[in-house]
A and B are shown apart, each in its own frame.
Chain A
């Protein structure tokens, strides 16, 4: 019994130290941009735009997006950029007649206004997933810069001016611009989910770009066509084709420029239900695991990049341990009689957990300021209560992902979109009132 206790204590001690280091490192990555005044300046979009020069292929991969596809097309074609430099393709599988119908309806409507730079591209073979659609799109288009938007994305009208300017001014071939979930007070997990995006795009990704190992996002990412062609397009067997292509491009030595300017972010929504949220997170975790096992990161030129790649890709799997460990650590601290110094070491991850909670709460106000929102006084309280359950949900999703991967299940669990981020406040005495 004592040997068992000793092993437990020793194991917990080791885990505590590792966890503290890991947690402190993550904390640093999340604070990176705010910590470095020069990085903060660099993250901003250019203050003045150069004349439009680059041409853009905009791919809108969609599946069962009848509800939102029309407004997405609308936003893209109405961007502040010369129409002849934009080529928009909606990419669907042939069996998704609903989305195809809605898209074509919109195209017909636009053509009456003389807007004819949008078309639908279809494919019928397997697999039925986003990377497959993107490869089809890549092969059938020819503008200079290729970009992707998801059907639920609200893009900023000036986004192409931003990218055109950055690419011309800095001579970069790959630009990732910010994506931001917006509905931060929709449900119990939305605040923390919104903040994950905020910290990822506003801070952490800049660190990745500096190191030269950038797992890209799934949309609002801009590639010079030549780079994508050299990389061989997207991996159709990978559930996070975006991160994967980012790592492959990084290993080609191609620098990635990250722009997060609160004004120009692409707005998205959190998954509408917990179930969808878990499915989305499972897909990401599993995709990261696949990318890790694929070992493309091994071709990254230097050690720091490879280490960061392993850390980033393995993180969702580590997360499974984190959620559970905290309870073990607390239990060990107060139930098993250990020397005081051991007990204090066991408590260190708890301090880091509090630091992360503080980070999120401050992040809420930074996010709200950036987007001129006013959080309710209840929101930080809710965050405190939901912080641990949220971590447990992430742990659950990553365990689920590992099991799926082990059992060879690789289908795309789609996330539903209801357009919660597009719900604008209704004017006082709205339409209904006027009719009455």
Chain B
């Protein structure tokens, strides 16, 4: 037994090391900093520097647990936001830690549920090397933090001697509930995992001595943590909209409201999977499949296999039902077509990897134990070394085998140059329209550019739009264009909020620009 434990430890360490390398190498250079990363680091900045949840009016667009964690991370670092370079780099360093923790949890949870080390190794492998996973998991996103909390919750929910039937400590159930609550307060769509974890607990504890207490306190703990969000809104007198008006055509004007925002989110559909022009199709065909076809197709296939075997086995292969449900419940959320952004695929990835691992484990259980490493290593070797799969090596346009962009491209360098140019050439009292990606850097390092605001806020926040800029393009001095920012402005202009900024853009002249591949950054001075 001792060598088995040693071997297991070695495999965990190797899995974590793989994750550290694939995610850590070139982390600060690629991919490009994006708006959402900027928003979360800016809100963490506000927590630390202003003791508020956002430098602007906080309108309950997301629950704040994610950037409270980011703020705590920054708070303990020696040079705070500048510890790892730019503010977003500092946030990305946290994402590396989060990925390593998540890999550990994914490994253990998969090993417990499947009873197979091979399954755990395979799941951790795909979670670590999938280019799709690496691309989004390197970014400072709430979804990455949420995934970690969901995995912690699952890790606790599968604790005890035998997850299928064995006793479980109530303390583990309470902690699992608390961490699940934190997951929901990090990113609300974690709620789609609740039925699966609930089902897991019900199935394993039915008839056990602390069935009622464990299930009861799991639910209580989760609900308590989530209720803090509602309590917060109540205390700020922002739970209900003014006049209890939930009219979506007439948003309440005098104060923000949590319940109104939830109501609004629930009605923000962009078309379900039945509509071929919906974001589900757009992202899956345009952004996700090109990055990693295998994990999506094989993961979905494995989930269906797991589900079928799980259901047909009448409880003997309960893990099949649980693991497939983890992927499918979130998949249904994506498919039903709510408001969606490109990185919404993140929470699906660990569970697709888990399904591939589970099915792989089942197949390998038919191979003699001593021979099992052979097919596993062969599989890994193919993915790592065969450029046809495009995982680590790819064939470039000249037919050469080169490392994947993830490991060689420097895109953020252009953004750093852009920031440097601003600092060298634009006076700090200038009024700038920017994208959120450089917000924290401009506001946290001397000299402060306190009149640098993102076009989103300048389009919608009355304090910025009306009070600072008077909604007049002549009041803008410079527009700092991030990649494809004009498209984003047009997309955000349904209510005409961006029009005055677009006017400024029409009256401006490029004073700096850089272009590389499909990335183009610019700085434009407004000609008044």
Instruction: Please give me the residue from chain A that is nearest to B236 by CB atom.
Output: A340
A407 contacts the other chain (Cβ, under 8 Å)?
no
* Contact A365–B232 (Cβ < 8 Å): no
Chain B residues near A28: list those with CB within 8 A: 171
Q: A36-B169, A37-B167, A343-B235 are in contact. Are A31 and B220 (CB under 8 A)?
A: no
**In A343-392, which residues have CB < 8 Å from any B CB?**
343-344, 347, 351, 354-355, 358-359, 362, 365-366
Chain A residues near B217: list those with CB within 8 A: 355, 358
Question: What mask results when residues 139 to 153 of chain A are scored 1 for a CB within 8 Å of chain B, else 0?
Answer: 000000000000000
Q: Binding site of A, secondary structure by majority: helix, strand, loop or mixed?
A: helix
Q: A344-B228, A358-B217 are in contact. Are A35 and B235 (CB under 8 A)?
A: no
* Contact B209–A40 (Cβ < 8 Å): yes
A311 contacts the other chain (Cβ, under 8 Å)?
no
Instruction: Please give me the residue from chain B that is nearest to A365 by CB atom.
Output: B212
Chain A residues near B236: list those with CB within 8 A: 340
A35: contacting residue among B171, B212, B231, CB under 8 A: B171
Chain A residues near B220: list those with CB within 8 A: 354-355, 358
Q: Binding site of B, secondary structure by majority: helix, strand, loop or mixed?
A: helix
Min C-beta distance of A351 to chain B, whole Å: 5
Instruction: Please give me the residue from chain B that is nearest to A361 by CB atom.
Output: B216
A98 to B217, CA, bound (A): 51
Chain B residues near A343: list those with CB within 8 A: 235
A5 to B212, CA, bound (A): 43
B394 contacts the other chain (Cβ, under 8 Å)?
no
Interface residues on B, range: 10 to 19
Q: A31-B213, A34-B209 are in contact. Are A340 and B169 (CB under 8 A)?
A: no
* Contact B170–A31 (Cβ < 8 Å): yes
Instruction: Please give me the residue from chain A that is nearest to B160 by CB atom.
Output: A37
A362 to B220, CA, bound (A): 12
Interface residues on A, range: 20 to 34
A233 to B193, CA, bound (A): 60
A28 to B213, CA, bound (A): 12
Question: What mask results when residues 228 to 268 of chain B are scored 1 for a CB within 8 Å of chain A, else 0?
Answer: 10011001100000000000000000000000000000000
A14 to B522, CA, bound (A): 54
* Contact B216–A35 (Cβ < 8 Å): no
A412 to B272, CA, bound (A): 75
Min C-beta distance of B205 to chain A, whole Å: 11
* Contact A35–B210 (Cβ < 8 Å): yes
* Contact B232–A35 (Cβ < 8 Å): no
Chain A residues near B386: list those with CB within 8 A: none
B224 contacts the other chain (Cβ, under 8 Å)?
yes
A156 to B437, CA, bound (A): 74
A275 to B220, CA, bound (A): 35
* Contact B213–A362 (Cβ < 8 Å): yes
B216: contacting residue among A347, A351, A362, CB under 8 A: A362
* Contact A35–B224 (Cβ < 8 Å): no
A351 to B171, CA, bound (A): 17
A31 to B217, CA, bound (A): 11
Min C-beta distance of B523 to chain A, whole Å: 39
Instruction: Please give me the residue from chain B that is nearest to A34 by CB atom.
Output: B210
Chain B residues near A347: list those with CB within 8 A: 231
Chain A residues near B228: list those with CB within 8 A: 344
* Contact B167–A358 (Cβ < 8 Å): no
Question: What mask results when residues 1 to 37 of chain A are scored 1 for a CB within 8 Å of chain B, else 0?
Answer: 0000000000000000000000000001001001111
* Contact B212–A344 (Cβ < 8 Å): no
* Contact A366–B169 (Cβ < 8 Å): no
* Contact A35–B169 (Cβ < 8 Å): yes
* Contact A344–B235 (Cβ < 8 Å): yes
* Contact A358–B216 (Cβ < 8 Å): yes
Min C-beta distance of A365 to chain B, whole Å: 6
* Contact A340–B235 (Cβ < 8 Å): yes
Question: What mask results when residues 390 to 414 of chain B are scored 1 for a CB within 8 Å of chain A, else 0?
Answer: 0000000000000000000000000
Instruction: List residues of B whose CB falls within 8 A of some A CB.
Output: 167, 169-171, 209-210, 212-213, 216-217, 220, 224, 228, 231-232, 235-236
| A–B pairs, 11, beta carbons within 8 Å | A34-B213, A37-B169, A37-B209, A40-B209, A333-B235, A343-B235, A344-B235, A347-B231, A355-B220, A358-B220, A362-B213
Instruction: List residues of A whose CB falls within 8 A of some B CB.
Output: 28, 31, 34-37, 40, 333, 340, 343-344, 347, 351, 354-355, 358-359, 362, 365-366
CB-CB nearest 8 A-B residue pairs: A37-B167, A34-B210, A35-B170, A362-B212, A343-B235, A340-B235, A362-B216, A34-B213
